[in-house]
Every structure is written in C-alpha cells, then in structure tokens.
Structure 1
Amino acid sequence: MAEVSLTGAQMLLVLEAVAEHGPVSAAEMARICDMNRTVAHRLLVTLAQRSYVKRGDKGYSLGPTVMRLAQLGQQHIRTVVKPIIVDLAERYGETVVVHGVSDLEAVVVDQAIAHKHLVRVEHRPGSRHPIHVGASGWALLAAQPERVISKALARLDNPEAARLRVAEIQKAGYAVSHDELQEGVHGVAVPVIDVDGSCEITLAILVPVTRAKSLLTFVEPLKSAARAVIDNMNANNLGLEPDNGMGDKPNRTRRQSGSTFSSAG
C-alpha cells in the first residue's frame, strides 16, 4: 500500500474546509479540522504563499490559484464533452447543456444548440443558479456527498419534501423539471458519475413546453452520453480514441502521434 503524506493530507483537508466554510480564521480552522491551532495557521500561511487561499478581514478564503485550476479543469471538460453534446443536439434537435457544481450552485459549463426548431432553449455559459433549482441543479445535488446534500437542503423552506425529491432522483438516475428557472421551459438531466463515485457535471436536454411530451425519451440517450464522457476522459488520459456515446464505438487503439429562451429549467 502506498504511503500517504500526513502533512499533505492535512493541507488538503484545510483547503477543502476553506472552500466549504470560508472565510475562516486559523482558530476556526483548527476547530473545524480538529487540529492544533499552530498547525492550522502554518498550513494556511503555506497555502496563502502559493495563492491557494487569500487572507482578508474576515479570515481565509479561496485564492486565485484555485480559480485558475478550476478554469483549466473546465477547459478539459469542455474538450471532452463538446463532441458528445454536439452529436446529441444534432440527433435529437434540442439544446444540450453541461452544468458544473460550484459552492452549492449549478454553473453552465457549455452547451450545444440545435437549429432544427425556430423556438429553442439557450443558456449563457457561466450563468449560475442555486443547486436546488432546475433539472441540472437537482441532478447535481442528488449525486453529491451526503454532507453537501444536507447543507443545501438545510437552507430550504421544506427540506423534507426536497429530501424525498433527492431520493427519487437517486433511484431513477435522472431529474426532471418544468417552469423552475423560466416559465415554459422543461428539462431532463443526468449526472456524470466518475469511476470514484464523484459527480462534477451533468448533461441535460432542455425543451420548450410545446415539445415537453418527448422529454423522457431523452433519458437513455443522456445516460449513454454520460457514460461516454467518463470513458472519453479515461481514454484521453491513456491516449485512446474517443467514443461519441451514441453506439458508434471506434476501435480502442492508441493514437499515432505524427425566437429563443435565454434561460432554462
């Protein structure tokens, strides 16, 4: 079994705590992470020197290095996901949207817009909304660790009903919504579950109410596309040919070197 660096593990624990609870002081960090205050302070100072965190009047919060790494991660996701969502949009004639999760919010990472219909749904990349709103938000929420789900639900007026909705989504493997972000827009979304069980993004198809009857027919294509995203991320790391998620699987051989809606449900 590989050895684990205790200091490295503590530093990651502190960084995660800043992301979840920040801004926080060294004393608060020591309490949250159950560690000596001097150790917490030393770790925060080390992280601050590399701009992973920054110190303000109210304590430490995430710094620009984390933001830059997140942007690089989103660029990688877009590179892998783009051909898959473009293929989905072309095949089914509807807008396909990718959402990521950021501090209990769903953020639009990318989209593929179909031009089959005059009336269609569009998102603005970078726009965000609470994670408990819309099909994409609910699909993201249901796939998060229990501590994140509990934190999000604690903010709602009716957490019991929200808990039931989360359980239903977890059982079905997809989320649906209508008129939650914008009246007249329906959506269905699936989580993209990595091999370690984590979920950073969702894939969703959004339609106007006039075509909402076909919404559930998109569940299986979306699930297949989500599996293809994970396969392609792994293939990308190994230098293998990608899969479009629509059953057109190429040989897994190594590469040789040489009037619209402005938001959605």
Structure 2
Amino acid sequence: MSTLQTLDRGLRALDIVAQAPAGISVADLAKELDVHRAICYRIVATLEAHALVTRAEDGRIRLGVGAAVLASRFEPQFARDVQPLLRALANETRATAFVSVAEAADCVVIMVAEPEGTLLKVGYRVGSRHPLDQGAAGIAILAMRPEQPRDSDAVRQARADGFSLTRGQLEHGAVGIAAGIVLPANLAATAGFERSVGVVAIDGLDTDQAAVAVQRTARRLAVLVAV
C-alpha cells in the first residue's frame, strides 16, 4: 500500500502527543518518530498551524484545541452509528444496554438503550456516574489500560477474560457485564474517549450469553470507529 510519508509522520506525531498527557519535547518527539529534529520542528509547526497541537510555556508539545474540535464532531457520528447496535444488544440480552466513558476518576453513562417489552428495568440513565473502579463499565475501561501494579483483581480478571462481570456493586441485585471499545490510539489516549459497552439487569441475565453479545458489540463498535 502506498502512503504519503509526510502525512504519515504528521499523524504519527499527533498520536504520540495524544499519548503524552504531560506533553512531550520536540527532541523526544523526534526520537519517537526517528527523524532529524529539524524535520520534527516542521511537522510540529504544521500541526500547530491547524491548532492540532500547541506549545506550552515550557516548550512541551500538547494537543491543541483543534483536536478537541475534531473530537466534538466525532460524537454525533458515534451516536448515530452506535444506537442501532445498542438497541440490538438490549433486545438480545433482555437487559439495559449502555455505553460509558472515563472522565477523570469517574465512569459516566453517555448512551442507554432499553429492551423492548421488559417491565423490570435497571435505573441506568444518561449522565449517571460512579467511581471508575466500581461497576462493570469502569472496570472494563481500566482493563484496556496498560497493566499497573496497583490494578485490582477485578481489573486483572477483566483484562484476561476480555470483559468484566460484577454483581451488586452499584445497585443491590444488579448484574453488569461490559467490554472495552478499542478505539484508534489517537482517540483512546484523548480525554473522553476511553469507552466501554455493556448490559445490566436485576435478575434473569444469562451471563455467558450476555458476555458473548457484549464482546461482539464492542468489536463491531471498534470497527465502526476505525472506518
């Protein structure tokens, strides 16, 4: 496959910057890209001209407002593509389906779909939040991150299984299953783009069947985002 080297370097640079929350120096970025520092300066200047990166007072390169604008334009497309799959997941598992996002130390629900014709439903609403290390949704997100010594047993188990399973953590009697949505690195490393999809029910949830359905949906969502 033929690619444009300059464009490829620019996109790789943006990816590297996105994965450095504290910023990165031009010298270190040049090393990561394996290019001369003069070339790296030109790449940074081009990205800076489009507000995709910015230079802080200490000279370190960070994501710029242009990256946030692109992110905001991604949201309507994401919602449009995800909603039909979320409804299908809810109906297949007969449980409330959701998409959650990491926001600092919290996990926040951004999309919900209820199964059709089900009377007993879990009160899971858009905007609901809980600690990231509690509940299937947050644990699934933590499991996508690089392994850390402080990881809980639940996170380690979720990383090994490919999904998280919790019982009664956020609501008495509730069973939750979630899997992380593997997004492109430049989005996943950006605040607001660590996401998971899952289901939650009070009783009667076939956890084996739900785990398969949730992981399948997570893979489909990842493909949609990557297209």
- Specify if TM > 0.5: yes
CA RMSD for the aligned pairs? Answer: 3.8
SS in 2 for 1:214: coil
Shift of residue 222, structure 1, vs aligned partner: 3.1
Structure 2: distance between partners of 1:103 and 1:9: 31
Query: Share of identical aligned residues, percent?
Result: 20
* Structure-2 residue corresponding to 1:36: 36
Shift of residue 85, structure 1, vs aligned partner: 1.9
Residues 60, 229 of structure 1: alpha-carbon distance in 2 compared, 3 angstrom cutoff: closer
Shift of residue 18, structure 1, vs aligned partner: 0.8
Residues 219, 157 of structure 1: alpha-carbon distance in 2 compared, 3 angstrom cutoff: closer
Residues 20, 192 of structure 1: alpha-carbon distance in 2 compared, 3 angstrom cutoff: closer
Residues 66, 107 of structure 1: alpha-carbon distance in 2 compared, 3 angstrom cutoff: farther
Q: What are the superposed Cα offsets for residues 13-33 of structure 1, whole Å, 9 maximum, x if unpaired?
A: 211111011422322322443
Q: Which of 120, 125, 132 does residue 123 from structure 2 map onto?
A: 120
* Structure-2 residue corresponding to 1:175: 164
8 Å Cα contact 1:53/1:63 also seen in 2: yes
Instruction: Flag structure 2 segments of 5+ consecutive residues without an equivalent.
Output: 189-193
Structure 2: distance between partners of 1:111 and 1:32: 40
Residues 92, 136 of structure 1: alpha-carbon distance in 2 compared, 3 angstrom cutoff: same
Shift of residue 133, structure 1, vs aligned partner: 5.0
SS in 2 for 1:4: coil
Structure 1: distance between partners of 2:80 and 2:196: 15
Shift of residue 95, structure 1, vs aligned partner: 2.3
Instruction: Flag structure 1 segments of 5+ consecutive residues without an equivalent.
Output: 238-265
Letter of the aligned partner of 1:19 in structure 2? A
* Structure-1 residue corresponding to 2:157: 165
Shift of residue 129, structure 1, vs aligned partner: 5.9
Shift of residue 204, structure 1, vs aligned partner: 0.6
Matched, 1:17 2:16: yes
Letter of the aligned partner of 1:16 in structure 2? D
* Structure-1 residue corresponding to 2:57: 57
TM-score, with length taken from structure 1: 0.61
8 Å Cα contact 1:187/1:215 also seen in 2: no
* Structure-1 residue corresponding to 2:191: none
* Structure-2 residue corresponding to 1:69: 70
Structure 1: distance between partners of 2:158 and 2:177: 14
Q: Which of 164, 184, 190 does residue 179 from structure 2 map onto?
A: 190
Letter of the aligned partner of 2:124 in structure 1? V
